[in-house]
Chain A
Protein backbone atom coordinates (compact mmCIF):
# COMPACT_ATOMS: atom_id res chain seq x y z
CA UNK A 1 0.00 0.00 0.00
CA UNK A 2 1.50 3.32 -0.97
CA UNK A 3 1.90 5.94 1.72
CA UNK A 4 -0.85 8.38 0.64
CA UNK A 5 -3.31 5.50 0.61
CA UNK A 6 -2.08 4.39 4.02
CA UNK A 7 -2.52 7.90 5.38
CA UNK A 8 -6.05 8.00 4.01
CA UNK A 9 -6.92 4.71 5.69
CA UNK A 10 -5.43 5.98 8.95
CA UNK A 11 -7.44 9.18 8.82
CA UNK A 12 -10.61 7.23 8.20
CA UNK A 13 -9.89 4.92 11.14
CA UNK A 14 -8.99 7.91 13.29
CA UNK A 15 -12.24 9.59 12.34
CA UNK A 16 -14.19 6.48 13.29
CA UNK A 17 -12.34 6.18 16.61
CA UNK A 18 -13.03 9.81 17.46
CA UNK A 19 -16.68 9.57 16.51
CA UNK A 20 -17.07 6.41 18.58
CA UNK A 21 -15.45 8.11 21.55
CA UNK A 22 -17.81 11.07 21.28
CA UNK A 23 -20.77 8.73 20.94
CA UNK A 24 -19.78 6.91 24.13
CA UNK A 25 -20.85 10.03 25.95
CA UNK A 26 -18.40 9.50 28.81
CA UNK A 27 -15.41 11.79 29.33
CA UNK A 28 -13.48 8.89 30.86
CA UNK A 29 -13.13 7.34 27.42
CA UNK A 30 -11.18 10.39 26.32
CA UNK A 31 -8.98 10.43 29.40
CA UNK A 32 -8.12 6.74 29.15
CA UNK A 33 -7.87 6.82 25.37
CA UNK A 34 -5.42 9.71 25.51
CA UNK A 35 -3.02 7.62 27.59
CA UNK A 36 -3.21 4.69 25.18
CA UNK A 37 -2.61 6.98 22.20
CA UNK A 38 0.29 8.58 24.01
CA UNK A 39 1.83 5.16 24.47
CA UNK A 40 1.34 4.36 20.81
CA UNK A 41 3.50 7.37 20.02
CA UNK A 42 6.07 6.61 22.73
CA UNK A 43 6.44 2.94 21.78
CA UNK A 44 6.66 3.71 18.08
CA UNK A 45 9.27 6.36 18.80
CA UNK A 46 11.23 3.98 21.02
CA UNK A 47 11.07 1.25 18.43
CA UNK A 48 12.64 3.43 15.75
CA UNK A 49 15.86 3.47 17.76
CA UNK A 50 15.43 0.25 19.70
CA UNK A 51 13.75 -2.21 17.39
CA UNK A 52 15.03 -0.97 14.04
CA UNK A 53 18.58 0.04 15.08
CA UNK A 54 19.10 -2.15 18.13
CA UNK A 55 20.01 0.67 20.53
CA UNK A 56 18.12 0.54 23.82
CA UNK A 57 16.93 3.84 25.27
CA UNK A 58 16.10 3.71 28.99
CA UNK A 59 15.45 7.43 29.13
CA UNK A 60 12.07 7.70 27.43
CA UNK A 61 10.88 9.69 30.42
CA UNK A 62 13.64 12.25 29.87
CA UNK A 63 12.55 13.08 26.32
CA UNK A 64 8.88 12.94 27.28
CA UNK A 65 9.44 15.25 30.23
CA UNK A 66 11.50 17.67 28.13
CA UNK A 67 8.48 18.05 25.87
CA UNK A 68 6.21 18.58 28.86
CA UNK A 69 8.48 21.09 30.52
CA UNK A 70 9.02 23.00 27.29
CA UNK A 71 5.30 23.56 27.30
CA UNK A 72 5.43 24.74 30.91
CA UNK A 73 8.30 27.10 30.12
CA UNK A 74 6.50 28.56 27.11
CA UNK A 75 3.28 28.83 29.15
CA UNK A 76 5.01 30.80 31.87
CA UNK A 77 6.96 32.92 29.41
CA UNK A 78 3.86 33.85 27.47
CA UNK A 79 1.51 34.17 30.41
CA UNK A 80 1.29 37.93 30.20
CA UNK A 81 1.63 38.28 26.46
CA UNK A 82 -0.86 38.51 23.64
CA UNK A 83 0.03 35.05 22.47
CA UNK A 84 -1.45 33.34 25.49
CA UNK A 85 -2.58 30.60 25.28
CA UNK A 86 -0.24 29.16 22.65
CA UNK A 87 -1.98 26.73 20.34
CA UNK A 88 -1.17 23.14 21.05
CA UNK A 89 0.39 22.27 17.68
CA UNK A 90 2.93 25.06 18.17
CA UNK A 91 3.77 23.76 21.62
CA UNK A 92 4.21 20.29 20.21
CA UNK A 93 6.57 21.64 17.61
CA UNK A 94 8.61 23.38 20.29
CA UNK A 95 8.66 20.24 22.44
CA UNK A 96 9.63 18.17 19.44
CA UNK A 97 12.47 20.44 18.45
CA UNK A 98 13.94 20.67 21.95
CA UNK A 99 13.72 16.91 22.47
CA UNK A 100 15.12 16.28 19.02
CA UNK A 101 18.11 18.49 19.75
CA UNK A 102 18.71 16.67 23.02
CA UNK A 103 18.41 13.35 21.22
CA UNK A 104 20.98 14.51 18.70
CA UNK A 105 23.31 15.73 21.41
CA UNK A 106 22.99 12.51 23.39
CA UNK A 107 23.69 10.53 20.30
CA UNK A 108 26.68 12.57 19.33
CA UNK A 109 28.21 12.08 22.77
CA UNK A 110 27.63 8.38 23.14
CA UNK A 111 26.81 6.65 19.86
CA UNK A 112 30.44 6.02 19.02
CA UNK A 113 30.44 3.60 21.92
CA UNK A 114 28.84 0.22 22.17
CA UNK A 115 25.12 -0.19 22.53
CA UNK A 116 25.43 -1.13 26.20
CA UNK A 117 27.14 2.18 27.05
CA UNK A 118 24.53 4.09 25.12
CA UNK A 119 21.77 2.42 27.13
CA UNK A 120 23.45 3.28 30.43
CA UNK A 121 24.05 6.83 29.23
CA UNK A 122 20.32 7.25 28.54
CA UNK A 123 19.63 6.31 32.15
CA UNK A 124 22.13 8.90 33.27
CA UNK A 125 20.56 11.51 31.03
CA UNK A 126 17.16 10.99 32.58
CA UNK A 127 18.49 11.58 36.09
CA UNK A 128 20.59 14.59 35.11
CA UNK A 129 17.64 16.24 33.37
CA UNK A 130 15.35 15.47 36.29
CA UNK A 131 17.81 17.04 38.70
CA UNK A 132 18.06 20.11 36.50
CA UNK A 133 14.27 20.49 36.39
CA UNK A 134 13.86 19.91 40.13
CA UNK A 135 16.29 22.74 40.79
CA UNK A 136 14.81 25.11 38.21
CA UNK A 137 12.23 27.25 39.95
CA UNK A 138 10.95 28.87 36.78
CA UNK A 139 9.18 25.65 35.85
CA UNK A 140 8.12 24.98 39.39
CA UNK A 141 11.06 22.95 40.66
CA UNK A 142 10.16 20.19 43.06
CA UNK A 143 6.92 21.91 44.01
CA UNK A 144 5.50 21.27 40.60
CA UNK A 145 3.71 23.47 38.11
CA UNK A 146 0.03 24.19 37.60
CA UNK A 147 -1.29 24.59 34.09
CA UNK A 148 -4.67 26.13 33.53
CA UNK A 149 -6.63 24.22 30.99
CA UNK A 150 -8.94 26.20 28.72
CA UNK A 151 -12.58 25.14 28.94
CA UNK A 152 -13.73 24.65 25.41
CA UNK A 153 -12.24 24.57 21.95
CA UNK A 154 -14.42 25.85 19.10
CA UNK A 155 -15.75 23.24 16.62
CA UNK A 156 -14.49 20.29 18.63
CA UNK A 157 -15.92 20.38 22.10
CA UNK A 158 -14.45 20.09 25.54
CA UNK A 159 -10.71 20.46 26.00
CA UNK A 160 -10.15 16.82 26.75
CA UNK A 161 -11.76 15.92 23.43
CA UNK A 162 -9.35 18.33 21.76
CA UNK A 163 -6.36 16.72 23.51
CA UNK A 164 -7.59 13.31 22.46
CA UNK A 165 -7.90 14.42 18.86
CA UNK A 166 -4.44 15.99 18.84
CA UNK A 167 -2.86 12.84 20.27
CA UNK A 168 -4.81 10.75 17.76
CA UNK A 169 -3.33 12.74 14.89
CA UNK A 170 0.16 12.52 16.42
CA UNK A 171 -0.25 8.75 16.64
CA UNK A 172 -1.16 8.61 12.97
CA UNK A 173 1.88 10.74 12.17
CA UNK A 174 4.19 8.55 14.25
CA UNK A 175 2.96 5.32 12.66
CA UNK A 176 3.24 6.81 9.19
CA UNK A 177 6.80 7.98 9.85
CA UNK A 178 7.77 4.56 11.20
CA UNK A 179 6.25 2.81 8.21
CA UNK A 180 7.89 5.25 5.81
CA UNK A 181 11.27 4.59 7.38
CA UNK A 182 10.78 0.84 7.12
CA UNK A 183 10.15 1.03 3.42
CA UNK A 184 12.92 3.47 2.62
CA UNK A 185 16.65 3.13 2.19
CA UNK A 186 16.94 4.39 5.77
CA UNK A 187 15.10 1.29 6.97
CA UNK A 188 17.70 -0.93 5.33
CA UNK A 189 20.42 1.17 6.93
CA UNK A 190 18.83 0.79 10.36
CA UNK A 191 18.65 -2.98 9.90
CA UNK A 192 22.34 -3.25 9.04
CA UNK A 193 23.25 -1.29 12.15
CA UNK A 194 21.18 -3.67 14.23
CA UNK A 195 22.71 -6.72 12.59
CA UNK A 196 26.38 -5.85 12.25
CA UNK A 197 27.73 -2.32 12.42
CA UNK A 198 31.21 -3.26 11.28
CA UNK A 199 29.89 -4.97 8.16
CA UNK A 200 27.56 -2.03 7.61
CA UNK A 201 30.47 0.41 7.62
CA UNK A 202 32.41 -1.83 5.26
CA UNK A 203 29.41 -1.83 2.90
CA UNK A 204 29.38 1.96 2.84
CA UNK A 205 26.63 2.68 5.36
CA UNK A 206 27.39 5.92 7.27
CA UNK A 207 26.55 4.37 10.61
CA UNK A 208 27.09 7.38 12.87
CA UNK A 209 24.97 9.66 10.71
CA UNK A 210 22.17 7.12 10.54
CA UNK A 211 22.21 6.48 14.28
CA UNK A 212 21.99 10.21 14.87
CA UNK A 213 18.98 10.40 12.57
CA UNK A 214 17.35 7.65 14.60
CA UNK A 215 17.98 9.26 17.99
CA UNK A 216 16.81 12.64 16.75
CA UNK A 217 13.57 11.36 15.25
CA UNK A 218 12.92 9.14 18.24
CA UNK A 219 13.62 11.92 20.74
CA UNK A 220 11.57 14.46 18.80
CA UNK A 221 8.52 12.19 18.66
CA UNK A 222 8.76 11.51 22.39
CA UNK A 223 8.98 15.24 23.04
CA UNK A 224 5.94 15.87 20.90
CA UNK A 225 4.04 13.26 22.90
CA UNK A 226 5.02 15.03 26.10
CA UNK A 227 4.12 18.55 25.02
CA UNK A 228 0.34 18.32 25.60
CA UNK A 229 0.80 16.42 28.86
CA UNK A 230 0.72 19.44 31.21
CA UNK A 231 -2.68 20.38 29.79
CA UNK A 232 -3.89 16.83 30.25
CA UNK A 233 -2.75 16.44 33.81
CA UNK A 234 -3.15 19.98 35.06
CA UNK A 235 -0.45 19.69 37.69
CA UNK A 236 3.04 18.66 36.62
CA UNK A 237 5.42 17.09 39.07
CA UNK A 238 9.01 16.01 38.33
CA UNK A 239 8.75 12.73 40.26
CA UNK A 240 5.99 11.30 38.18
CA UNK A 241 6.84 13.02 34.90
CA UNK A 242 10.32 11.53 34.95
CA UNK A 243 8.96 8.26 36.28
CA UNK A 244 10.45 4.94 35.34
CA UNK A 245 7.05 3.62 34.21
CA UNK A 246 7.42 5.53 30.95
CA UNK A 247 10.66 3.68 30.34
CA UNK A 248 9.24 0.27 31.20
CA UNK A 249 6.16 0.76 29.09
CA UNK A 250 7.90 2.17 26.04
CA UNK A 251 10.26 -0.82 26.14
CA UNK A 252 7.69 -3.48 27.04
CA UNK A 253 5.11 -2.49 24.43
CA UNK A 254 7.32 -2.89 21.34
CA UNK A 255 9.00 -6.00 22.72
CA UNK A 256 5.64 -7.61 23.45
CA UNK A 257 4.04 -6.47 20.22
CA UNK A 258 7.06 -7.18 18.07
CA UNK A 259 10.00 -4.96 17.18
CA UNK A 260 10.34 -5.74 13.51
CA UNK A 261 7.65 -3.43 12.19
CA UNK A 262 5.42 -0.46 12.97
CA UNK A 263 2.58 -2.85 13.73
CA UNK A 264 4.32 -4.24 16.81
CA UNK A 265 4.39 -1.11 18.98
CA UNK A 266 0.81 -0.37 17.91
CA UNK A 267 -0.41 -3.78 19.07
CA UNK A 268 1.69 -3.65 22.22
CA UNK A 269 0.50 -0.17 23.15
CA UNK A 270 -3.17 -0.93 22.56
CA UNK A 271 -3.07 -4.22 24.45
CA UNK A 272 -0.83 -3.24 27.30
CA UNK A 273 -2.17 0.30 27.52
CA UNK A 274 -5.77 -0.82 27.74
CA UNK A 275 -4.85 -3.54 30.21
CA UNK A 276 -3.20 -0.98 32.44
CA UNK A 277 -6.10 1.46 32.26
CA UNK A 278 -8.45 -1.33 33.36
CA UNK A 279 -6.01 -2.59 36.00
CA UNK A 280 -5.44 0.83 37.55
CA UNK A 281 -9.14 1.18 38.11
CA UNK A 282 -9.64 -2.31 39.50
CA UNK A 283 -6.32 -2.97 41.27
CA UNK A 284 -3.48 -0.84 42.55
CA UNK A 285 -1.03 0.82 40.19
CA UNK A 286 1.84 -1.10 41.78
CA UNK A 287 0.31 -4.45 40.76
CA UNK A 288 -0.24 -2.91 37.37
CA UNK A 289 3.49 -2.21 37.00
CA UNK A 290 4.30 -5.67 38.28
CA UNK A 291 2.20 -7.16 35.51
CA UNK A 292 4.02 -5.07 32.92
CA UNK A 293 7.39 -6.15 34.30
CA UNK A 294 6.43 -9.83 34.32
CA UNK A 295 4.99 -9.66 30.81
CA UNK A 296 8.17 -7.98 29.61
CA UNK A 297 10.44 -10.62 31.10
CA UNK A 298 8.13 -13.42 30.00
CA UNK A 299 7.85 -12.30 26.39
CA UNK A 300 11.51 -11.50 26.08
CA UNK A 301 12.41 -15.04 27.16
CA UNK A 302 9.65 -17.04 25.53
CA UNK A 303 8.53 -15.01 22.53
CA UNK A 304 11.46 -12.85 21.42
CA UNK A 305 9.67 -11.74 18.28
CA UNK A 306 6.63 -10.61 20.21
CA UNK A 307 3.05 -11.07 19.18
CA UNK A 308 3.92 -10.60 15.50
CA UNK A 309 6.34 -13.50 15.86
CA UNK A 310 3.74 -15.66 17.58
CA UNK A 311 1.23 -14.93 14.83
CA UNK A 312 3.75 -16.03 12.22
CA UNK A 313 4.61 -19.20 14.06
CA UNK A 314 0.98 -20.06 14.59
CA UNK A 315 -0.16 -19.40 11.07
CA UNK A 316 3.13 -20.46 9.41
CA UNK A 317 2.98 -17.41 7.20
CA UNK A 318 6.00 -15.92 5.52
CA UNK A 319 6.92 -12.55 7.08
CA UNK A 320 6.76 -10.75 3.74
CA UNK A 321 3.05 -11.41 3.56
CA UNK A 322 2.52 -9.55 6.76
CA UNK A 323 4.84 -6.62 6.67
CA UNK A 324 6.09 -4.52 3.85
CA UNK A 325 9.60 -5.81 3.84
CA UNK A 326 11.19 -9.07 4.71
CA UNK A 327 12.77 -8.50 8.06
CA UNK A 328 12.99 -11.32 10.52
CA UNK A 329 14.70 -11.36 13.88
CA UNK A 330 17.54 -13.75 14.41
CA UNK A 331 16.20 -16.89 16.00
CA UNK A 332 17.55 -20.16 17.25
CA UNK A 333 18.42 -22.22 14.18
CA UNK A 334 15.63 -24.36 12.89
CA UNK A 335 12.72 -22.47 14.39
CA UNK A 336 10.23 -20.66 12.21
CA UNK A 337 10.43 -16.86 12.49
Chain B
Protein backbone atom coordinates (compact mmCIF):
# COMPACT_ATOMS: atom_id res chain seq x y z
CA UNK B 1 0.00 0.00 0.00
CA UNK B 2 1.71 3.10 -1.21
CA UNK B 3 0.08 6.04 0.41
CA UNK B 4 0.08 9.12 -1.74
CA UNK B 5 -1.92 12.26 -1.33
CA UNK B 6 -2.82 12.38 -5.02
CA UNK B 7 -4.20 8.87 -4.91
CA UNK B 8 -6.21 9.71 -1.82
CA UNK B 9 -7.77 12.85 -3.28
CA UNK B 10 -8.57 11.16 -6.54
CA UNK B 11 -10.06 8.18 -4.77
CA UNK B 12 -12.28 10.43 -2.66
CA UNK B 13 -13.42 12.49 -5.64
CA UNK B 14 -14.24 9.53 -7.82
CA UNK B 15 -15.98 7.97 -4.81
CA UNK B 16 -18.20 11.02 -4.45
CA UNK B 17 -18.99 11.08 -8.16
CA UNK B 18 -19.77 7.38 -8.28
CA UNK B 19 -21.82 7.93 -5.15
CA UNK B 20 -23.98 10.34 -7.09
CA UNK B 21 -24.65 7.60 -9.59
CA UNK B 22 -25.32 5.05 -6.84
CA UNK B 23 -27.94 7.44 -5.49
CA UNK B 24 -29.77 7.31 -8.82
CA UNK B 25 -29.79 3.53 -8.76
CA UNK B 26 -31.01 3.54 -5.17
CA UNK B 27 -33.68 6.21 -5.65
CA UNK B 28 -36.02 3.64 -7.12
CA UNK B 29 -35.56 1.37 -4.11
CA UNK B 30 -36.08 4.30 -1.74
CA UNK B 31 -39.52 4.57 -3.28
CA UNK B 32 -40.38 0.88 -3.58
CA UNK B 33 -38.85 -0.27 -0.31
CA UNK B 34 -38.57 2.89 1.75
CA UNK B 35 -42.03 4.24 1.01
CA UNK B 36 -44.09 1.31 -0.28
CA UNK B 37 -42.47 -1.38 1.86
CA UNK B 38 -42.02 -3.67 -1.15
CA UNK B 39 -38.75 -5.58 -1.14
CA UNK B 40 -38.01 -5.35 -4.83
CA UNK B 41 -34.66 -7.07 -4.97
CA UNK B 42 -35.10 -7.30 -8.72
CA UNK B 43 -34.52 -3.57 -9.09
CA UNK B 44 -30.90 -4.01 -10.28
CA UNK B 45 -32.20 -6.33 -13.01
CA UNK B 46 -34.31 -3.50 -14.38
CA UNK B 47 -31.29 -1.23 -14.24
CA UNK B 48 -29.32 -3.74 -16.31
CA UNK B 49 -32.25 -3.96 -18.68
CA UNK B 50 -32.02 -0.20 -19.08
CA UNK B 51 -28.30 -0.56 -19.78
CA UNK B 52 -28.87 -3.10 -22.52
CA UNK B 53 -31.60 -1.05 -24.16
CA UNK B 54 -29.27 1.95 -24.15
CA UNK B 55 -26.61 -0.30 -25.66
CA UNK B 56 -28.76 -1.58 -28.54
CA UNK B 57 -30.03 1.87 -29.48
CA UNK B 58 -26.54 3.28 -29.23
CA UNK B 59 -25.03 0.49 -31.31
CA UNK B 60 -27.72 0.48 -33.99
CA UNK B 61 -28.73 4.14 -34.18
CA UNK B 62 -25.87 5.92 -32.49
CA UNK B 63 -28.23 7.73 -30.12
CA UNK B 64 -26.99 9.12 -26.83
CA UNK B 65 -27.71 6.64 -24.02
CA UNK B 66 -29.13 9.20 -21.61
CA UNK B 67 -31.52 10.48 -24.24
CA UNK B 68 -32.55 6.92 -25.04
CA UNK B 69 -33.18 6.25 -21.38
CA UNK B 70 -35.37 9.31 -21.00
CA UNK B 71 -37.42 8.27 -24.02
CA UNK B 72 -37.74 4.77 -22.56
CA UNK B 73 -38.90 5.97 -19.15
CA UNK B 74 -42.63 5.78 -19.99
CA UNK B 75 -42.20 2.18 -21.13
CA UNK B 76 -40.42 1.31 -17.90
CA UNK B 77 -43.18 3.09 -15.99
CA UNK B 78 -45.79 0.88 -17.64
CA UNK B 79 -43.68 -2.20 -16.90
CA UNK B 80 -43.43 -1.16 -13.26
CA UNK B 81 -47.15 -0.50 -12.97
CA UNK B 82 -47.87 -3.91 -14.48
CA UNK B 83 -45.51 -5.70 -12.14
CA UNK B 84 -47.04 -3.96 -9.13
CA UNK B 85 -50.49 -5.04 -10.24
CA UNK B 86 -49.36 -8.68 -10.40
CA UNK B 87 -47.60 -8.29 -7.04
CA UNK B 88 -50.68 -6.74 -5.47
CA UNK B 89 -53.16 -9.29 -6.79
CA UNK B 90 -50.98 -12.29 -6.01
CA UNK B 91 -49.39 -11.33 -2.73
CA UNK B 92 -50.28 -8.06 -1.07
CA UNK B 93 -53.99 -8.72 -1.20
CA UNK B 94 -53.55 -12.17 0.30
CA UNK B 95 -51.08 -11.03 2.93
CA UNK B 96 -48.36 -13.26 1.54
CA UNK B 97 -45.82 -10.66 0.63
CA UNK B 98 -43.21 -11.67 3.15
CA UNK B 99 -42.34 -15.09 1.77
CA UNK B 100 -43.90 -15.35 -1.65
CA UNK B 101 -43.55 -11.73 -2.64
CA UNK B 102 -39.84 -11.93 -1.91
CA UNK B 103 -39.52 -15.18 -3.85
CA UNK B 104 -41.44 -13.58 -6.71
CA UNK B 105 -38.98 -10.73 -7.08
CA UNK B 106 -36.09 -13.11 -6.72
CA UNK B 107 -37.52 -15.13 -9.58
CA UNK B 108 -37.96 -11.98 -11.67
CA UNK B 109 -34.34 -11.02 -10.98
CA UNK B 110 -33.22 -14.40 -12.11
CA UNK B 111 -35.40 -14.58 -15.18
CA UNK B 112 -34.25 -11.15 -16.33
CA UNK B 113 -30.59 -11.92 -15.87
CA UNK B 114 -30.71 -15.34 -17.53
CA UNK B 115 -32.80 -14.01 -20.42
CA UNK B 116 -30.21 -11.33 -21.03
CA UNK B 117 -27.49 -13.98 -20.99
CA UNK B 118 -29.37 -16.09 -23.48
CA UNK B 119 -30.03 -13.16 -25.80
CA UNK B 120 -26.81 -11.17 -25.51
CA UNK B 121 -24.30 -13.63 -24.17
CA UNK B 122 -21.84 -12.88 -21.39
CA UNK B 123 -19.60 -10.48 -23.30
CA UNK B 124 -19.16 -7.04 -21.87
CA UNK B 125 -21.10 -4.35 -23.71
CA UNK B 126 -20.37 -0.67 -23.78
CA UNK B 127 -21.68 2.51 -25.37
CA UNK B 128 -20.05 5.33 -27.27
CA UNK B 129 -20.69 8.96 -26.47
CA UNK B 130 -18.69 12.17 -26.79
CA UNK B 131 -18.30 12.53 -23.05
CA UNK B 132 -16.97 9.06 -22.39
CA UNK B 133 -13.39 9.60 -23.43
CA UNK B 134 -12.20 12.95 -22.09
CA UNK B 135 -11.00 13.72 -18.60
CA UNK B 136 -10.66 17.00 -16.77
CA UNK B 137 -7.27 17.58 -15.25
CA UNK B 138 -6.79 19.98 -12.35
CA UNK B 139 -3.18 19.54 -11.39
CA UNK B 140 -3.05 16.04 -9.95
CA UNK B 141 -6.84 15.69 -9.82
CA UNK B 142 -8.42 13.68 -12.63
CA UNK B 143 -12.15 13.83 -13.21
CA UNK B 144 -13.28 11.55 -16.02
CA UNK B 145 -16.29 12.94 -17.84
CA UNK B 146 -17.86 9.53 -18.07
CA UNK B 147 -18.28 9.52 -14.30
CA UNK B 148 -19.03 13.19 -13.86
CA UNK B 149 -21.85 13.48 -16.38
CA UNK B 150 -23.92 10.62 -14.92
CA UNK B 151 -23.31 12.03 -11.44
CA UNK B 152 -24.66 15.44 -12.41
CA UNK B 153 -27.69 14.04 -14.22
CA UNK B 154 -28.30 11.67 -11.28
CA UNK B 155 -28.44 14.55 -8.85
CA UNK B 156 -30.82 16.36 -11.18
CA UNK B 157 -33.02 13.26 -11.30
CA UNK B 158 -33.10 13.03 -7.52
CA UNK B 159 -33.84 16.72 -7.16
CA UNK B 160 -36.73 16.30 -9.59
CA UNK B 161 -38.04 13.29 -7.65
CA UNK B 162 -37.83 15.18 -4.39
CA UNK B 163 -39.80 18.04 -5.90
CA UNK B 164 -42.45 15.67 -7.17
CA UNK B 165 -42.74 13.95 -3.80
CA UNK B 166 -43.01 17.12 -1.79
CA UNK B 167 -44.79 19.58 -4.06
CA UNK B 168 -47.23 17.68 -6.22
CA UNK B 169 -50.50 16.10 -5.08
CA UNK B 170 -49.54 12.68 -6.41
CA UNK B 171 -46.17 12.93 -4.72
CA UNK B 172 -47.66 13.78 -1.35
CA UNK B 173 -50.25 11.06 -1.79
CA UNK B 174 -47.37 8.63 -2.32
CA UNK B 175 -45.72 9.78 0.89
CA UNK B 176 -49.07 9.51 2.64
CA UNK B 177 -49.88 6.01 1.43
CA UNK B 178 -46.96 4.75 3.45
CA UNK B 179 -48.40 6.20 6.61
CA UNK B 180 -52.15 6.05 6.46
CA UNK B 181 -54.07 4.26 3.74
CA UNK B 182 -57.39 4.80 5.44
CA UNK B 183 -57.00 8.54 5.43
CA UNK B 184 -56.29 8.44 1.72
CA UNK B 185 -59.42 6.42 1.08
CA UNK B 186 -61.44 8.93 3.01
CA UNK B 187 -60.09 11.57 0.66
CA UNK B 188 -61.48 9.50 -2.24
CA UNK B 189 -57.99 8.55 -3.40
CA UNK B 190 -57.41 4.89 -4.22
CA UNK B 191 -54.29 3.77 -2.34
CA UNK B 192 -53.71 0.91 -4.77
CA UNK B 193 -53.62 3.33 -7.69
CA UNK B 194 -51.17 5.53 -5.82
CA UNK B 195 -48.91 2.61 -5.06
CA UNK B 196 -49.06 1.51 -8.67
CA UNK B 197 -48.00 4.96 -9.81
CA UNK B 198 -45.21 5.03 -7.23
CA UNK B 199 -43.88 1.63 -8.24
CA UNK B 200 -44.06 2.66 -11.87
CA UNK B 201 -41.98 5.73 -11.09
CA UNK B 202 -39.51 3.57 -9.19
CA UNK B 203 -38.96 1.30 -12.21
CA UNK B 204 -38.83 4.30 -14.54
CA UNK B 205 -35.81 5.58 -12.63
CA UNK B 206 -34.12 2.26 -13.40
CA UNK B 207 -34.15 3.13 -17.07
CA UNK B 208 -32.05 6.22 -16.47
CA UNK B 209 -29.85 4.49 -13.92
CA UNK B 210 -29.15 1.81 -16.49
CA UNK B 211 -27.93 4.38 -18.99
CA UNK B 212 -25.65 5.87 -16.34
CA UNK B 213 -24.27 2.45 -15.55
CA UNK B 214 -23.26 1.57 -19.06
CA UNK B 215 -21.67 4.98 -19.50
CA UNK B 216 -19.54 4.48 -16.41
CA UNK B 217 -18.52 0.88 -17.02
CA UNK B 218 -18.98 -1.97 -19.50
CA UNK B 219 -21.94 -4.13 -18.60
CA UNK B 220 -22.74 -7.83 -18.66
CA UNK B 221 -25.84 -9.52 -17.21
CA UNK B 222 -24.46 -10.54 -13.82
CA UNK B 223 -23.25 -7.01 -12.99
CA UNK B 224 -26.66 -6.40 -11.45
CA UNK B 225 -25.96 -8.77 -8.58
CA UNK B 226 -23.25 -6.53 -7.16
CA UNK B 227 -25.86 -3.83 -6.84
CA UNK B 228 -28.45 -5.72 -4.82
CA UNK B 229 -26.56 -5.37 -1.57
CA UNK B 230 -25.19 -1.96 -2.45
CA UNK B 231 -28.60 -0.53 -3.15
CA UNK B 232 -30.20 -1.85 0.01
CA UNK B 233 -27.18 -0.86 2.07
CA UNK B 234 -27.49 2.72 0.81
CA UNK B 235 -31.25 2.71 1.25
CA UNK B 236 -31.08 1.51 4.85
CA UNK B 237 -28.11 3.72 5.72
CA UNK B 238 -29.89 6.71 4.25
CA UNK B 239 -32.95 6.21 6.42
CA UNK B 240 -35.14 4.23 4.00
CA UNK B 241 -37.44 6.82 2.48
CA UNK B 242 -35.34 9.94 2.63
CA UNK B 243 -33.96 10.96 -0.77
CA UNK B 244 -31.42 13.43 0.65
CA UNK B 245 -30.35 10.68 3.04
CA UNK B 246 -29.91 8.37 0.08
CA UNK B 247 -27.56 10.83 -1.63
CA UNK B 248 -25.40 11.21 1.47
CA UNK B 249 -25.30 7.47 2.16
CA UNK B 250 -24.54 6.75 -1.50
CA UNK B 251 -21.59 9.12 -1.54
CA UNK B 252 -20.33 7.72 1.74
CA UNK B 253 -20.38 4.19 0.40
CA UNK B 254 -18.89 5.35 -2.87
CA UNK B 255 -15.95 6.94 -1.07
CA UNK B 256 -15.33 3.98 1.22
CA UNK B 257 -15.46 1.56 -1.72
CA UNK B 258 -13.14 3.75 -3.72
CA UNK B 259 -10.61 4.03 -0.89
CA UNK B 260 -10.74 0.28 -0.27
CA UNK B 261 -10.27 -0.45 -3.93
CA UNK B 262 -7.37 1.97 -4.32
CA UNK B 263 -5.42 0.99 -1.23
CA UNK B 264 -6.40 -2.62 -0.60
CA UNK B 265 -7.27 -3.85 -4.06
CA UNK B 266 -10.53 -4.24 -5.96
CA UNK B 267 -11.18 -7.80 -4.81
CA UNK B 268 -12.14 -6.46 -1.40
CA UNK B 269 -14.57 -3.86 -2.69
CA UNK B 270 -17.77 -6.00 -2.76
CA UNK B 271 -17.32 -6.80 0.90
CA UNK B 272 -17.42 -3.10 1.71
CA UNK B 273 -20.99 -2.23 0.87
CA UNK B 274 -22.34 -5.58 1.96
CA UNK B 275 -20.35 -5.41 5.16
CA UNK B 276 -21.70 -1.91 5.70
CA UNK B 277 -25.19 -3.27 5.24
CA UNK B 278 -24.73 -6.01 7.82
CA UNK B 279 -23.20 -3.54 10.23
CA UNK B 280 -26.01 -1.04 9.76
CA UNK B 281 -28.69 -3.66 10.21
CA UNK B 282 -27.04 -4.98 13.33
CA UNK B 283 -26.31 -1.66 14.94
CA UNK B 284 -28.58 1.07 13.66
CA UNK B 285 -31.37 -0.14 11.37
CA UNK B 286 -32.89 3.31 11.34
CA UNK B 287 -29.99 4.55 9.23
CA UNK B 288 -27.85 7.67 9.61
CA UNK B 289 -30.71 10.10 9.22
CA UNK B 290 -33.17 7.56 10.50
CA UNK B 291 -36.78 8.22 11.26
Contacts and interface: CB of A to CB of B under 8 A. Distances in A.
**A contacting B, Cβ–Cβ less than 8 Å:** yes
Interface of A: 50-51, 54, 56, 58, 109-110, 113, 115-117, 119-121, 123-125, 127-128, 130-132, 134-135, 142, 244, 247-248, 251-252, 255, 259, 284, 286-287, 289-290, 292-294, 296-297, 300-301, 304, 330-332
A124 B278 contact: yes
Given A110-B281, A120-B236, A248-B110, 14 more contacts: A110-B278, A110-B282, A117-B236, A121-B278, A121-B281, A123-B232, A124-B274, A125-B278, A127-B229, A244-B225, A247-B106, A286-B117, A289-B114, A293-B114
A134 B267 CA distance: 8
27 contacts: A50-B99, A109-B281, A110-B278, A115-B99, A116-B37, A116-B102, A117-B236, A119-B39, A120-B236, A120-B281, A121-B278, A123-B41, A123-B274, A124-B277, A127-B229, A130-B270, A244-B225, A252-B107, A255-B100, A286-B117, A287-B114, A287-B118, A297-B108, A300-B90, A301-B90, A331-B94, A332-B94
Nearest to A129: B271
Contacts of A125: 274, 278
B98 interface: yes
B96 interface: yes
Interface string B78-102: 0000000010001001111011101
A113 B240 CA distance: 14
A128 B106 contact: no
A300 B104 contact: yes
B267 A293 contact: no
Contacts of A113: 281, 285
Nearest to A51: B99
Contacts of A331: 94
Contacts of B98: 54, 56, 115-116
A300 B278 contact: no
Given A56-B98, A135-B267, A255-B100, A244 B110 contact: yes
A121 B118 CA distance: 30
A252 B103 CA distance: 8
A297 B99 CA distance: 12
Interface residues of B, number: 42
Given A50-B99, A135-B268, A116 B107 contact: no
A127 B118 contact: no
Given A109-B282, A119-B39, A244-B225, A293 B99 contact: no
A118 to B, nearest CB: 9
A304 B94 contact: yes
A300 B33 CA distance: 20
Contacts of B63: none
A127 B274 contact: yes
Contact of B95 (A109, A284, A286, A330): A330
B103 A124 contact: no
Contact of B285 (A115, A117, A251, A292): A117
B111 A293 contact: yes
A117 B281 contact: yes
A121 B232 CA distance: 9
Contact of A127 (B37, B39, B102, B271): B271
B228 interface: yes
Contact of B96 (A292, A293, A304): A304
A56 B225 contact: no
Nearest to A251: B103
B233 interface: yes
Contacts of A51: 99
